[in-house]
A and B are shown apart, each in its own frame.
Chain A
Amino acid sequence: MRFIYSRWFVIFFCSLVGVVILLFLQTRGLTEPVQRLILYAPKPLISSITFLAAPVRQFGSTITHLGRLSKQNIALEARLRSLEDQVVETNQLRRDNEVLRQELKFIQSTDAELVPCSVLSRDPEGLADTLVLSCNKKDGIAEGMAVIAAGRLAAKLVYVGQFSSTARLIIHDDSTVDARLSNNGGLGILRGSFRSGLILEQLSQNIEVKKGDLVVTAGINALIPKNIMIGEIGEIVSTPNDSFKRATIISPLEFKSLDYVFVEKP
């Protein structure tokens, strides 16, 4: 019997046709009710297991990181003192700024509108670096908007549907965001990097960059508001002979274990 008349070929062919039909329906957004069902059905079970696993994980983490925590504590205390000094200085500058704004009748920019979303599923592969979020079109969000976690830029929306949305983490290779250094305003492009996490590229050689400098969004893209914190400079990876400076960025976010995020409307 020829292979194309075998039952295996028939099964495979029927399945292939079914998959193609479903793929077509998916591109038209018609599988979204099913997606909603699939994403919400396991939620109670996931929450229960997470609730039970959390103390065990915390205990294990504390034991294994005891030495590191002690060193971190010393470093953080020193940093806290330095930041307290900066806060005093910033408060003084803010007061001066307010007085000057009133004098010059500047319009105060409005606060950003945040839409809270829970993470329904995350790509466990780290293949596409995506998060499926609970927010959808009804919340007034759109593709390209910024997704924030703990005040830091975490992802960008790549798809917004009727029941859920998909965001791509900024650490993905294809993710690019316009960014700037908060202290001197040096503009660059933030790119996800498979090996290094985040890389700030296209920085002018004339700009001074040093370890620990804070990096924020530049606001060139109309959908991503400016001054969203991204992270801090880790190390400079370019040489003085390169056309542009490149530096790694350290973000405190744990991208793989985000549970709740916000979409910031411009």
Chain B
Amino acid sequence: MKYLVFLIAFVILWSVGQVLTAYLPLFRIGPNMFLILTMIFAFDEQNFHFLIVSLGGGLFMDIALGFPVGAYTLSLLIAGLVMHIVSEKIHGMQNSIKFLPLSLIISVILVDIWLYLYILFCNAFKLTSLTIHWQALQNGLVWQIVYALLLLIPVYGYALLIQRVLLLLEQRKKGSGLI
């Protein structure tokens, strides 16, 4: 059931991203929404939901966009893992969530670099016929970061909604004795 909730969440996020990208000249907001979701879930030290988001969301995007598997999957996974480890290290610090915007800016840049190198690698080994140019990555990087920061609040709300649904499901499970 938990996985179904995540799948529905991905479909909604993907659909909103596709519609917004078609109508507005926004830079990479679709993939960045998945990245933000991964980062938010990575801050939660109690569970490994960020793994589902990074692996599931990344695979969803890679396959839907026709990119080689790993382009987004691995970048989201690495970003989520690093964030989770850092989050564990700074455990106990008050308002650790305030590090989220800074970590988001860094991960947006790193994901871009990863995409370029990974698709270049796959192309070199004839695993894909797609190519990416460095200029395309540089295009609107600043705007991309601005949009990612603006999206932080709505996606944070969305993440809270998902967590609430997951909590409700868990409570219902416990209530029915199906632990």
Contacts and interface: CB of A to CB of B under 8 A. Distances in A.
B136 A19 contact: no
Question: Chain B: interface residue count, which band?
Answer: 35 or more
Interface stretch (A62-70, A77-85, A127-135): A127-135
Interface in A1-48: 8, 11-12, 15-16, 18-20, 22-23, 26-27, 31, 34-35, 38-39, 41-42, 45-46
Interface string B127-166: 1111111011101000000000000000000000000000
A123 B29 CA distance: 11
Interface in A192-207: 194-195
Nearest to B28: A125
A31 B67 CA distance: 12
B15 A12 contact: no
B60 interface: yes
B64 interface: yes
Contacts of B19: 46, 49-50, 53
Interface string B47-87: 01001000100011001111111100110011001001100
A194 B133 contact: yes
A57 interface: yes
Contacts of A26: 63, 68-69
Nearest to A19: B70
B21 A256 contact: yes
B23 A57 contact: yes
A126 interface: yes
A173 B130 CA distance: 11
Given A19-B70, A41-B11, A42-B14, A122 B133 contact: no
Nearest to A259: B22
B130 A130 contact: yes
A166 interface: yes
A124 B18 contact: yes
A34 B63 contact: yes
A121 B16 contact: no
A229 interface: no
A62 to B, nearest CB: 14
B105 interface: no
A208 interface: no
Contacts of B23: 53, 57, 257
A121 B81 contact: no
B65 to A, nearest CB: 5
A174 interface: yes
Contact of A22 (B59, B85, B132): B59
A223 interface: no
A31 B69 contact: yes
Nearest to A18: B55
B101 interface: no
Contacts of B63: 26, 31, 34-35, 38
Nearest to B115: A127
B31 A158 contact: no
Interface string B76-109: 0110010011000000000000000000000000
B16 A132 contact: no
Which residue, A38, A45, A158, A257, has most C-beta atoms of chain B within 10 A? A38
Contacts of B84: 8
B12 interface: yes
A164 B27 CA distance: 26
A3 B70 CA distance: 23
Contact of B17 (A15, A124, A168): A124
Contact of B21 (A12, A38, A122, A129): A122
Give me the 3 closest cross-chain CB pairs, A-B, nearest first: A124-B21, A22-B69, A45-B15
17 contacts: A8-B84, A11-B51, A15-B55, A16-B74, A19-B73, A35-B66, A45-B11, A46-B15, A46-B18, A49-B16, A122-B21, A124-B17, A125-B31, A127-B115, A132-B64, A132-B65, A256-B22
Interface of A: 8, 11-12, 15-16, 18-20, 22-23, 26-27, 31, 34-35, 38-39, 41-42, 45-46, 49-50, 53, 57, 120-130, 132, 158-159, 164, 166, 168, 172-174, 194-195, 256-257
